[in-house]
Every structure is written in C-alpha cells, then in structure tokens.
Amino acid sequence: MSVVGIDFGSLHSKIGVARHRGIDIITNEVSNRATPSLVSFGPKQRALGESAKTQEISNFRNTVGSLKRLLGRTLHDVEIQQVEKGFTHVNLLDVDGSVGAQVNYLGEPTAFSATQLVGMYLGRLRDIAMKELKIGVSDVVIAIPGWYTDVQRRALLNAAAIAGLNPLRLIPDHTAVAFGYGITKSDLPDPENPRHVVFVDIGHSSMSVAVVAFSKGQLTVKSTAYDTHLGGRDIDYALVRHFAEEFKTKYKIDVLSNPKATFRLYSATEKLKKILSANAEAPLSVESIMNDVDASSRLTREQYEQLIVDLLDRIPAPLQRALEESGLSIEQIDAIELVGGSTRVPAVRAKIQSVFPSKPLSTTLNQDEACARGSTFACATLSPVFRVRDFAIHDIAVNPIKVSWEKSLADEEEDTELIVFPRGNGIPSTKVLTFYRKAPFDVEAVYAEPSGLPGSINPWIGRLTVKEVGPSPTGDYSTVRVKARLNLHGILSFEAVYTEEIEEKEEMQVDGESTEPPKKKKVVKKNAVPYVAGYGGLDSSVVDKYREKELTMHANDKLVQDTEERKNALEEYIYDMRSKLEDRYAPFVQPQERDALLAELSKNEDWLYSEEGEDATKSAYVSRFDAAKKLGDPITTRWREAEERPRAAAQLRETI
C-alpha cells in the first residue's frame, strides 16, 4: 500500500512518498520536483503536467491552468468572471452546473468540467508516484486551501475518485505544514506552556495564515486567516501591465492584445521578479515578442515595490486578523515560519515583519516542499503501512455552519435554526441534534455567514429528509435524534437518524431467595429512522461515468505514447543496423544477407517518411520492426558469440 502526500498548488504541485527510511519529495518524468498544474488537449492525445507546460504557448486555447481556482465553482461566480477569466485563454463554460472548459480534443470541440480536469491532473500525479514506488497508488492525503468550502472539498473528492485515488484526508495546507513542523520536533513543551508558531504561506494565488500551538505530541490550530487573491500571479500581472504599457509607447505594440506575446512577457517578468528578490536591479528582455520586435527594459527594486504597493499593503490584514482571533499577544508568539514561493520577495517579508516588529522571521522549513512533506506525514499517520509516532492534529472549521428546519406545531416558541458547527469548531466533530416530531421533516445545512465565503459560492451545503416519523407509542411527539458530522475532510454529512424510546427493564434476580422487589432499569432503545440526504458535488453514478471516461482517455494517451515509442524504435533500428553493418558486423555477414537487410531497412525508411508511415498504428510499427529484426538478429547473434568466445575461454582458464 502506498503512502503519498500531494500539495495541489495553483502553479505547480509537489508529491511526497513515505518509505522506510523517511519521506521523499519525488521527481517527475523530466526530473522536476514540482509538476505544473496544467492540462492540455491535442488532436491525438492529452498532455498533462510537464507536457502541458511545453505547449502552454503554442496551444493556449486548449491548455487549462488555475485548476485549483476553478474547482467547485459555477461559471457565473464573480471570481470566475472577474478574476480567473483574466488568467486563461480557454473558453470557460457551464458543465452540469459547474464551471468547465471547452477545448479541442481529438479534433472535436469537447467540454470538461473543472472536476474532470482536476481528475485528469491528479491521475498524472498518481502515475508519477506509481512510477517511483513501483506499486499501485490509491491512499493519499491532499492539501487544500483552508478556505475551501464544502462544495469545493466535495469537488476535489470527486476529482480524486475520477483519478482512482482514495483521499484519507483533505488537509488545509497550513495544517499540513504545521504537522510536518511538529512531528519532527523532539523539544516541544508541555501543554500548559505551548510553543506558538505563526505560519505564513504566500504562494502563486493566495495567502494563508495560521496560528498554531505546539506541545508534546500535538498541535492545535488556534486561528486562521486568508487573502484568497494574493500571490505571485498578482505580482506577475502587475509587472506585465507595467511593461505592456511601457512597450506601447516604446515599440508601438500592444502586448496584451496578443496572447502569445502576453505569455512571453509573463515568463520574462517571472524571471525578472526572481532576480529582483536577490538583486537591486534586473534586466528584462523578450526576443521577438510580437511584430518582430525584440523588447527590453530594466526595473529597479524600488520601482518594482512601487508597482506592487497595493498588493504589499494587503499583507498585514490577514496576519492581524489571525493574531487577534488567536487571543495571543505578539510577545506570546515564539516563531514566524514562512512558506510559499512568494515569501521570497524581500518587500513581502518586510511587510510581514512590520506586523511582528520584535520577532525574527524564520525559514527553517523547505519553503516549497513543507506542505507536501506534511501531507505525506499525515498520510503515513492514517495508513496502516508505517508506524509514525503519535502526534495529534486539532484543526478548526473556518466557516460557521447552521442547520434550519420548519417549525413543528408543538412549540410556537421553537427556534428554526441553530449554529451546529461555529467558526473554530474542531475537525472532525459529531453533534447530535434533537427534534420532537410526529411526522416526517426536513433539515437543511447552510453556511451561516455567506459573506465570508469566497466568490459567489452558494452557502447551501445539504438537505436531510427524515422519513417515516410518527407519534410515539404513547401518541406523543417522538424524540428524533440526528447525527451531523464534520468529518476529517472538513465536509458535513448527516450520518444517522434514530428515535429514542425509554424502556424499563426488570433486572434479573441473581439470588432467587431475595425478598426485595425486582429492580427496574431504564434502557434507551434506539430505532433507526430511514432518511435521504443530498449535498453538493456529483452523484456517484456521474463520478462512475467520468471515471470510465477517464480510463478511456488514459488508455488512449498510453496507446499514442506506445505508438510513438514503437515508431522511434523502428527508426532507431534502421540507423543503428546500417552503421553497424559497415562496422562491427561487417566480418560476420554474407553479401546476400547484407543486401537483403539493407533493402529491408531502406524499404522501412521510405515507408516511415511516407504519409502512411508517418502516422500508422502501433501494430504496423511493431510488425515492421519484427520483420527487420528477423533478418538482423542472426548477424547480431554471430557477432555476440564471437565477442563472448574469448571471454568465455579466459574464464575457463581462470577456473582451471
């Protein structure tokens, strides 16, 4: 069984695996430790991760990024319309009530929902992990933004199911980082006097802050705060706008009107931004940006900080909110740990520092990989495969959840709603709600503060319909209990409905001669009540359908890749044999044998460069390869035997 942790980032994702000697962040097919969070579609196949990155510019209309931002949203969400549209050139559309992308796939316009797209991407991460571990991968822990709501978390679980993955936990990324921090520390204090650490993560698209208390064997998240639109991509966008404006007058070109030019400018500004993290000034140059113009410019650190001043000014607010909600003073904070790529920007650090003037900022964690590492530790803890030392996570809910119901006739004064899981409620958590009813009824769960949710996310979470409730045996109101659970993923579900009857039972007499009357004992008898519950996210039948589709697309990609490999093998064989026939095989070949093989090779070469051979089936390449090899193998064998004979003789001498 595999133990895998995934940091699903908006720019790229990192994968950790647990092995007996510890946790490793693994590399992908091109030896990168981070895999671009991109999926791309072509006339013959999909390209996922790294291979999508290579065609991001040439195939921009069919390459989808921002997967993490699209997931669980509707097309008309203000954040999709006003923000995400600005970061993609793909046509976004509605797919079954959620946002999706329209792309050209296998020569046809095809619509995929964001859930499917994330499923494809997670499938690629699974393949990378499988290749590394050489076993099947199913159990994972996936890190998510702490601000993901119920519907976004459900969408991620659906996507994971489409990829054939089994998430043991969706963990907020700051909690994963905190877990990785705590579990490796052997010097944590007693619970009366915990160590308080503020984790600040500024990545590509969002900022999160968590104040966490650590003591021996446990961590407790005390508060969290977010700016869901503050990250490296916003910095990049500010720089792109600046240079686009400059180039309008300098070169009379409008970069933003041309998607390819915009991409080129983005990649140049990203480089410039990174140089400016370590230098006072940096050059920018983009060859042939558009209209044959080679664009160049420079920027000083001061100018740069001026361009992003609005973003920088937003950094203190979430830090102050988190600190305030934790109830701690700055003096009580023991450390401030920075993670996420954008905390490398000196001005970003200065802003964070301004909130904690007396405290040093530390980067003892690997800024890029701490989240994947922590997620992998969390997976190891939940998996039976490894023994991990006990380290408890006390996490908290971000958005308060209430349930509401219709008044029953019993009580005019009865409330019709209740906050079941307030902000800061522990995760996981189960609560039992009590209703007095004589008839079936409905209960609805919603987020209690819709204004606190990202974008236009619908506060609705789920609905429970309790069936077959009647009066109690005495004709009174039945006591109906409903179990509501906020599970390990931070998702709400109704888990059980039952009525309670109190029965009096006579206790068995042990001593037959007692004169006391038999004692009566009250026993609560629970009777399950049938119910149905509906939530956001996809029906399991739809997930199954998408899983099937995914398997078909995956098989197709594999076939295309295998075909390409067989074609290359045939081509390589032709050139390899030709050169060897001139060289090492020459003494071992009869003239007619040689001519026959050369003729076969030439025939195949001509075919490979013909229209038919350019794009043939896998079996066509395989059968041509086999036929050629049949002629070549006797020659190869003769040469090998001749090579091995002196070696064998030498060995024989040695043994005698």
Q: How many residues interact with ligand ATP (rule CB under 6 A)?
A: 22
Residue type, 463: R
CA–CA gap between residue 8 and residue 121 (Å, rounded): 10
Under the binding rule (CB under 6 A), the answer on residue 203 touching ligand ATP is yes
User: Residue 462 binds which one of Mg ion, ligand ATP, none, with CB within 5 to 8 A depending on kind?
Assistant: none
Check: CB of residue 352 under 8 Å from CB of residue 200: yes
Check: CB of residue 543 under 8 Å from CB of residue 550: no
Q: Which residues pair with 362 in a beta bridge?
A: 337
- Minimum gap (Å) between residue 235 Cβ and ligand ATP: 7
User: Residue 597 binds which one of Mg ion, ligand ATP, none, with CB within 5 to 8 A depending on kind?
Assistant: none
User: Residue 205 binds which one of Mg ion, ligand ATP, none, with CB within 5 to 8 A depending on kind?
Assistant: ligand ATP
Under the binding rule (CB under 6 A), the answer on residue 374 touching ligand ATP is no
Q: Which residues bind Mg ion (CB under 5 A)?
A: 9, 203
Looking only at residues 215 through 274 of this chain, which bind ligand ATP when binding is defined by CB under 6 A?
231-233, 270, 273-274
CA–CA gap between residue 1 and residue 121 (Å, rounded): 21
| Cβ within 8 Å of residue 138, ≥6 positions away | 1, 2, 164, 165, 166
User: Residue 345 binds which one of Mg ion, ligand ATP, none, with CB within 5 to 8 A depending on kind?
Assistant: ligand ATP
CA–CA gap between residue 554 and residue 592 (Å, rounded): 46
Question: For ligand ATP, which residue of 6, 12, 397, 529 counts as binding (CB under 6 A)?
Answer: 12
- Of 12 and 154, the one with the shorter C-beta distance to Mg ion is 12
- Minimum gap (Å) between residue 67 Cβ and Mg ion: 13
- Of 171 and 446, the one with the shorter C-beta distance to ligand ATP is 171
- Minimum gap (Å) between residue 565 Cβ and ligand ATP: 31
Q: What are residue 91's phi and psi, to 5 degrees?
A: -75, 115
284, HSE (Cβ side, Cα atoms, 13 Å): 27
CA–CA gap between residue 345 and residue 341 (Å, rounded): 8
Q: Which stretch binds ligand ATP (CB under 6 A): 201-209, 311-319, 382-390, 528-536?
A: 201-209
Note if the bond before 428 is cis, omega within 30 degrees.
yes
CA–CA gap between residue 603 and residue 573 (Å, rounded): 13
Q: Measured at CB, which residue is nearest to ligand ATP?
A: 232
Tokens matching residue 214: 């650590």
Q: How many CB atoms lie within 10 A of CB 61?
A: 16
User: Residue 341 binds which one of Mg ion, ligand ATP, none, with CB within 5 to 8 A depending on kind?
Assistant: ligand ATP
User: Residue 537 binds which one of ligand ATP, Mg ion, none, with CB within 5 to 8 A depending on kind?
Assistant: none
Q: What are residue 58's phi and psi, to 5 degrees?
A: -70, -25
Under the binding rule (CB under 6 A), the answer on residue 180 touching ligand ATP is no
CA–CA gap between residue 332 and residue 327 (Å, rounded): 10
Question: For ligand ATP, which residue of 73, 153, 174, 204 counts as binding (CB under 6 A)?
Answer: 204
Under the binding rule (CB under 6 A), the answer on residue 478 touching ligand ATP is no
Q: Which stretch binds ligand ATP (CB under 6 A): 6-14, 217-225, 393-401, 563-571?
A: 6-14
User: Residue 232 binds which one of ligand ATP, Mg ion, none, with CB within 5 to 8 A depending on kind?
Assistant: ligand ATP
Q: Which stretch binds ligand ATP (CB under 6 A): 203-211, 410-418, 561-569, 607-615?
A: 203-211
CA–CA gap between residue 402 and residue 461 (Å, rounded): 10
- Minimum gap (Å) between residue 377 Cβ and ligand ATP: 18
Check: CB of residue 417 under 8 Å from CB of residue 445: no
Q: Please give the distance of CA 312 from its chain centroid, rounded to a whole number.
A: 27
| Cβ within 8 Å of residue 454, ≥6 positions away | 79, 147, 149, 228
Q: Which stretch binds ligand ATP (CB under 6 A): 146-154, 198-206, 509-517, 646-654?
A: 198-206
Q: Which stretch binds ligand ATP (CB under 6 A): 202-210, 507-515, 529-537, 600-608?
A: 202-210
CA angle at 242 for the pair 240 and 243, rounded to the nearest 5°: 70
CA–CA gap between residue 471 and residue 553 (Å, rounded): 54
- Minimum gap (Å) between residue 165 Cβ and ligand ATP: 19
- The residue count of the chain comes to 656
- Of 171 and 480, the one with the shorter C-beta distance to ligand ATP is 171
Under the binding rule (CB under 6 A), the answer on residue 373 touching ligand ATP is no
**End-to-end C-alpha distance for the chain, whole angstroms:** 50
- Of 176 and 443, the one with the shorter C-beta distance to ligand ATP is 176
One character per residue 510-549, x = contact with ligand ATP (rule: CB under 6 A): ----------------------------------------
Under the binding rule (CB under 6 A), the answer on residue 65 touching ligand ATP is no
Residue type, 533: A
CA–CA gap between residue 464 and residue 445 (Å, rounded): 8
User: Residue 349 binds which one of ligand ATP, Mg ion, none, with CB within 5 to 8 A depending on kind?
Assistant: none
One character per residue 330-359, x = contact with ligand ATP (rule: CB under 6 A): ----------xxx-xx--------------
- Of 455 and 462, the one with the shorter C-beta distance to ligand ATP is 455
Tokens matching residue 499: 């009525």
Under the binding rule (CB under 6 A), the answer on residue 53 touching ligand ATP is no
Q: Please give the distance of CA 404 from its chain centroid, rounded to a whole number.
A: 33
Residue type, 564: E
User: Residue 554 binds which one of Mg ion, ligand ATP, none, with CB within 5 to 8 A depending on kind?
Assistant: none
- Minimum gap (Å) between residue 321 Cβ and ligand ATP: 18
Short-list 116, 76, 74, 119, CA closest to 98: 74
Query: Pseudo-torsion of CA 125, 128, 132, 136, nearest 10°?
Result: 70
Question: For ligand ATP, which residue of 10, 376, 493, 563 counts as binding (CB under 6 A)?
Answer: 10
Q: Which residues pair with 336 in a beta bridge?
A: 198, 361
Which residues sit at the interface with ligand ATP, rule CB under 6 A?
9-12, 68, 203-206, 231-233, 270, 273-274, 277, 340-342, 344-345, 368
